[in-house]
Amino acid sequence: MTRLLVTGGAGFIGYHVSKYLLERGLEVVVFDNFSDYYSPHLKRMNAHEIEKLGAKIVDGDILNKKALASTIENERCRRVIHLAAQPGVRYSTINPDKSLRINVEGTSNVLNISRECNLDRVVVTSSSSVFGPTIFMPINEEHPKNPMSVYGVSKYTTELLVSVFRHLYPEFDTTIIRPFTVVGARQRPDMAINKFVSKVMTSSPITVFGDGSQTRDWTHVENMAQAFHLAALKPKAKNQDFNIGAGSRISVNVVLEMVSQITNRGLSIEYTEMNKADAKDTFADISKAKKLLGYDPKKNIYDAIEDFTEFWLKQFHSERMLKQEAQPATI
């Protein structure tokens, strides 16, 4: 049975990918440093849940080559899904050194050690941010790359690293996945759906960068998990790059209307200037992934908002109960 190492496997996408693999009978080792970029508690909770499904959890950092190598060797991993990264387009603007080091040096470590350990395949996670301003839509794999953020530059650099490895070591199998705006339960707090739902449920105003007409290819995280599963195992994925999205685009304003409908609450929206690092529109051409991988996205943005809202409510009630239990008893 193929044993996979999932770096960043306790994060938002990593949790769903790990769960998806485990539910299909694969062996999974999660390698995560539980960073404090956002709640380590949430990531520990994610890790605990997938551990119950059979995953092995290893506290480790991709910047630590020795720990990474020993995990791959000791756990007898044969393939890697590399999701560990420093996320955040806006975060990278004020923390460029950290974003570049983790994303570039970390990916270099994963590639070098995986090759030295003679692994069967490494699936490297890039981003739609590598494309920058949209020249044509839908965006296929050949669309020009002109990133507008440090985060986008860091991800484009990892793609260039993969390209060099393919040139120098043609026998070494690498696949690139470029996710487009991933949404769903357990989202990071800095991501749009999390912010929208959290603000609505606490009767707080929502800040929208731009006028809300900007569009995104909102990709349900379960569709993304399917894509990573296929990319890790399908023979036709060898040394290929894939744009992974829903294959549609919907404006932020329409998504806000969905949030209002699903939560059954009114919205208070404050529009502000669009961030220079943000793309105006994204829309993935997923025809290559459909053809070579058999990728077939089943869930949509409405499903993702429902899933996140349900998760938010569970977390809210759980945290409220914990706070009540922590209060001193009164007579």
Catalytic amino acids?
151
Give the side-chain half-sphere CA count within 13 A for 329. Answer: 1
For residues 220, 155, 159, 80, the Cα torsion angle rounded to the nearest 10 degrees is -60
How many CA atoms, within 13 angstroms, populate the side-chain half-sphere of residue 105?
A: 11
CA torsion angle for 142, 143, 145, 151 (degrees, to 10)? -100
Alpha-carbon 189 to chain mean position: 13
What is the residue-wise DSSP string for 94-126? Answer: H-HHHHHIIIIIHHHHHHHHHHHTT-SEEEEE-
Task: Tell me the C-alpha distance between 250 and 40, whole Å.
Answer: 32
Which pair of tokens denotes residue 161? 């690293």
CA angle, corner 83, sides to 78 and 84, nearest 5? 105
